[in-house]
Structure 1
Amino acid sequence: MNFPNYEALDTLDRAGAFGLLCSARLLAVAALGDFPCAGDLGALVRAWGECADIAPQVVSLTRYSARFPYRDDVESPNYYRSLSVDLALMSIDFEQEQPAARARRLMFMATQAWGNLDDIVSSRGLGPGEFCKREMESQARDISSISSGSEVRPAYLACLAHYREEYQERALYFGRVASLLSWS
């Protein structure tokens, strides 16, 4: 398996944009059922790209993350909800970690989530489950777009617009998966 070239994400903005796009794609799954801060997560993803104030969303998402910490039950909707929030929060908070190292961690977290969904889909006989492959292809496109120019945010917004077009398709598909898993 060839991993996307995360080392090209050598600035805070590039690595942050990458992680937020990973979070935005996972939101199609996380937003199923009762996800109280889906709107805040979507607003953060948009506001960051527009250089708008993200402080209100960060406060809301941090509270959510504290109340619903990262879980390991991959058949629970809370796993995808907490992971999508954590991906977003990690994307904008770099502390001491180098940007490429953070991007690598975000890449593996997102890829693992989609791999888990593939396993669920294939174990339920709903198809071959190729979402992990699609995620890796999306990540490679993101990295290419984000790192190709000096302006990160316009490239980020273009990627985000592309994923919004796919959002409905993913949400409908995972809505069927969610009904089989009795996610509410």
Structure 2
Amino acid sequence: MNTLPNYQALDTPDQAGAFGLLCSARLLAVAALGNFPCARDLGTLVRAWGECADIAPQVASMKRYSAMFPYRDNVESPSYYRSLSVDLALMSIDFTEDQPADRARRLMFMATQAWGNLDDIVSSRDSNSGDFCKREMESQARDISMISSGSDVRRAYLDCLARYREEYQERARYFCRVAAMASWS
């Protein structure tokens, strides 16, 4: 069994927010398949948050999307991952939690569960399963290490985004093939 990432190290709202947005960005590789009208806003928010840019228009759009499409849906449906990626991002930037580590833990489990569901879907359609849940946990551990060890959370966040860009593209290509097998749209 995999060791849980040390989410307790994320003890500021910005650290927990950066962690959750990275989880959302990785899930966007799957969520962006097919017709996902909120994908551009989510992608913009993920980049703009790290640059301290105004994200209010994207947040408003994503809240409307989230209200229309709650993520508690069929895990075999692409809309589940679209809604979950939006909700992960919105939860990441919502600082109403009592403790940042509590929010990070909730975001970590939501993202990990999604990748576990995707592993199950993929293994039922493709004998070359990607073991994405394990890879997600490894990514989360690296995120936490980078975010919690630096003095500039947003710089560390942008560095993580840049480092994972190729991985996101790899996941998107893989799930595009899986989506074709599963008739996702």
TM-score normalised according to structure 2 size: 0.97
1:90-130 Cα shifts (integer Å, max 9, x gaps): 00002143100000000000000000000111112332331
Report the counterpart of residue 51 of structure 2 in structure 1.
50
Report the counterpart of residue 34 of structure 1 in structure 2.
35
1:23-53 Cα shifts (integer Å, max 9, x gaps): 0000000000010010000000000000000
Q: Are 2:16 and 1:15 equivalent residues in the alignment? A: yes
Q: Which amino acid aligns with 2:130?
A: G
Q: Provide the rounded CA distance (Å) in 1 between the counterparts of 2:97 and 2:118.
A: 32
Q: In 2, are the aligned partners of 1:22 and 1:107 still within 8 Å (CA)? A: yes
Identity within the alignment, %:
82
Q: Provide the rounded CA distance (Å) in 2 between the counterparts of 1:74 and 1:129.
A: 17
Q: Provide the rounded CA distance (Å) in 2 between the counterparts of 1:52 and 1:6.
A: 26
Q: What pairs up with 1:92-171 in 2 under 5 angstroms?
A: 92-171=93-172
Q: Which amino acid aligns with 1:3?
A: L
Q: Provide the rounded CA distance (Å) in 2 between the counterparts of 1:5 and 1:162.
A: 20
Report the counterpart of residue 59 of structure 1 in structure 2.
60
Report the counterpart of residue 6 of structure 2 in structure 1.
5
Q: Provide the rounded CA distance (Å) in 2 between the counterparts of 1:126 and 1:97.
A: 43
Q: Which amino acid aligns with 2:55?
A: I
Q: In 2, are the aligned partners of 1:117 and 1:129 still within 8 Å (CA)? A: no
Query: What is the root-mean-square deviation of aligned Cα atoms in Å?
Result: 0.9
Q: Provide the rounded CA distance (Å) in 1 between the counterparts of 2:126 and 2:40.
A: 32
Gap regions ≥5 residues in structure 2: none
Moved more, 103-112 or 91-100: 91-100
| Secondary structure at 2:48 match in 1 | helix
Q: In 2, are the aligned partners of 1:27 and 1:81 still within 8 Å (CA)? A: yes
Q: In 2, are the aligned partners of 1:4 and 1:140 still within 8 Å (CA)? A: yes
Gap regions ≥5 residues in structure 1: none
TM-score normalised according to structure 1 size: 0.97
Q: Provide the rounded CA distance (Å) in 1 between the counterparts of 2:98 and 2:79.
A: 27
After TM superposition, give the deviation of residue 18 of structure 1 in Å. 0.1
Moved more, 110-119 or 128-137: 128-137
Report the counterpart of residue 180 of structure 2 in structure 1.
179
Q: Which amino acid aligns with 2:37?
A: P
